[in-house]
């Protein structure tokens, strides 16, 4: 190994953004390390660490997308519910205006509908 290769591995050990590459690089240039350790880093440590770093990045991106998709789904559901409520409110306002225009008093609460024969059906079960 040349000193230039060792210096390169030292720079990776100090500045590489991925811990998966920094750790094997530090091991390759630790005190008492041999040329075989540096060669091992170039053969396996660097590529294995980079692969692990890429996989970790992909997992983080996937998790972020999952959270974003969930949040957007909730917002879309709330928007649809709000749209339905707005349409219902517009329908109620229109019905109220028509009733008042016809001279029919508008109730302050929604009318209850009596089901014909309900008490007798309830007692007899039929």
Structure letter (DSSP) for residue 115 = P
Residue 10: the pLDDT is 93
pTM greater than 0.85: no
Using the predicted structure, report yes or no on whether residue 87 has a pLDDT greater than 90: no
Contacts of 12 (CB under 8 A, 6+ apart): 21, 22, 25, 46
Residue 76: the pLDDT is 92
Using the predicted structure, report yes or no on whether residue 53 has a pLDDT greater than 60: yes
Q: Which residue has the tokens 């630790």?
A: 30
Q: Characterize 82-98 residue by residue with b for buried, 16 or more Cβ atoms within 10 angstroms of its Cβ, and e for exposed.
A: eeeeeeeeeeeeeeeee
Distance linking the first and last C-alpha atoms of the chain: 94
Give the tokens for residue 73. Answer: 């789904």
- pLDDT above 90 covers a percentage of the chain that reads 48
C-alpha span between 89 and 66 (Å, rounded): 34
Residue of higher predicted confidence among 126 and 31: 31
DSSP 75-91: HHHHHHHHHHHHHHHHH
State the Cα angle at 49 between 47 and 51, rounded to 5°.
70
């Amino acid at each position: 190994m040349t000193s230039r290769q060792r210096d390169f591995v030292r720079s990776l050990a100090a500045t590489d953004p991925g811990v998966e590459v920094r750790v094997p690089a530090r091991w390759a240039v630790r005190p008492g390390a041999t040329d075989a350790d540096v060669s091992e880093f170039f053969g396996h440590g660097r590529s294995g660490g980079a692969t692990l770093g890429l996989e970790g990045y992909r997992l983080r991106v996937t998790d972020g997308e999952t959270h974003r998709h969930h949040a957007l789904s909730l917002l879309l559901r709330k928007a649809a519910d709000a749209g339905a409520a707005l349409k219902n409110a517009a329908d109620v306002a229109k019905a109220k205006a028509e009733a008042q225009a016809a001279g029919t008093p508008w109730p302050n609460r929604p009318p209850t509908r009596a089901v014909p024969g309900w008490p007798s059906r309830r007692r007899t079960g039929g």
